[in-house]
A and B are shown apart, each in its own frame.
Chain A
Amino acid sequence: MKINNHILKSVLISLLVLVANTNIFAENHSEEKSEKSKYNPVPKIMHHIQNSHEWHLFDYKDSKGKLHPVSIPLPVILYTNGNLDVFMSSDFNHGNSEVQKEDRIYSIDSHGQIIEQKGATIFDFSITKNVASMLISVLLILFLLMSTANGYKKNKYAPKKIQAFLEPLILFVRDDIIKANIGPKYERYTSFLLTVFFFILINNYMGLLPGAANVTGNISVTLVLAVFTFIITTISANKNYWKHIFNPPTPLVLMPIMVPIEIFGVFTKPFALMVRLFANITAGHITILSLISLIFIAQSGSGNGAAFGVAPLSVLFVLFIYLIELLVAFLQAYIFTLLSAVFIGLAVKEDH
């Protein structure tokens, strides 16, 4: 009896997996199918990775076969020539209309940027998809970490729930990353480094959800994080640090080479931090999206039968890459925090 149950369960699960792999909703949404044009995945992939002024959820096809995009409109806040214009991005009608405020006419160009007809400089303070996603993730981080902190007030003994889950992680970051690399004066930098760690971690994980915004894969976000690290290392640097840069203990012959390299190194280290995080996360997203696009490419190339055949394979590959991306999300947060701690440690190191 038990063996039969086991076999039945395995058969049912494999059937379920098989059925789940037939992507009934994975349809090619191109309208010019008359000459069987090959599906080009690049615009869709770029659209998923880039920031935009509306939060695009999905497209639905109505009975006539026309495509309607469904998205959440976000506020657009522009400051042009001393005038503050605030309106919802739905006024742009998915890029089809222009918005006129007094004598300024705004429109969205092909890259998703807002331009003004007379070419005036616009200061764009809009709540874009990335900003909205960051606000959501900040609320999530605040909730998680404040529950952990409150746990100390209530539970005097064993920690429970969220605190039990996050406390080893926080202690791991504090002991193995911050204390180990900065040394005796580590307490001044724990708040920044822990914030950076959790910000990158939560945003990496949220970016992996379907329909999410690609926050840490946006080079402006990683630029700001790297600039923070740069500012903190530069401000807290002591004399030894500058002495090592401008007067390294090398023979005089090598000084003309060493000093420019050291000065260059001051800037390349945060630059590498920025590019590493951006490229890892964006490359992961592009890989996942490209593997899903294989299904559509097979459909546009060889018809629905080929698409049904490619679908299980594609989904398996995507699952594999997704698992790698989960690891990469944690690893990149860890590496960013570790290297920031190392740079800060180098800056505050006392002479031996």
Chain B
Amino acid sequence: MEAEAVDAGIKGIAAIGAGLSAIGAGIGIGLIGGKALEAMARQPEQSGMIQTNMFITAALVEGVALFGCVIALMQGS
């Protein structure tokens, strides 16, 4: 009984951990997107380059957030 409760507790905390890393990803990518839109509004002729760099940076930030996800997955199962 004790072991099951601890197990369920660990899974619950793992889920919370995954959610926290999602907050990080959301804030990071939101900032990137916001700055990219501002830059595109200032200089519409550079939109292509700005968009490319936005995707690259978003993928890098998401990579870090997914580190957290992976750890949560490993602990949760």
Contact surface of A with B, Cβ cutoff 8 Å: 42, 46, 272, 275-276, 278-280, 282-283, 331-332, 334-335, 338
Contacts and interface: CB of A to CB of B under 8 A. Distances in A.
Contacts, number: 37
A275 B63 CA distance: 7
Contacts of A278: 70
A335 B59 contact: yes
Interface in B43-77: 55-56, 59-60, 62-63, 66-67, 69-70, 73, 77
A332 B70 contact: no
B55 A276 contact: no
Interface in B13-63: 55-56, 59-60, 62-63
Contact of A46 (B55, B62, B69, B77): B77
Contacts of B69: 279, 283
B15 to A, nearest CB: 12
Given A42-B77, A275-B70, A280 B63 contact: yes
A283 B66 contact: yes
B63 A276 contact: yes
**A46, A276, A331, A332 pick with most chain B CB within 10 angstroms:** A276
Given A275-B67, A279-B63, A279-B69, 11 more contacts: A42-B77, A275-B66, A275-B70, A276-B63, A279-B70, A280-B63, A283-B69, A334-B55, A334-B59, A335-B60, A335-B63
Q: Is the interface of A mostly helix, strand, loop or mixed?
A: helix
Contacts of B60: 276, 335
Nearest to A46: B77
Given A42-B77, A46-B77, A276 B66 contact: yes
B7 to A, nearest CB: 14
Contacts of B55: 331, 334
Contacts of A279: 63, 66-67, 69-70
B77 A332 contact: no
Contacts of A275: 63, 66-67, 70
B62 to A, nearest CB: 7
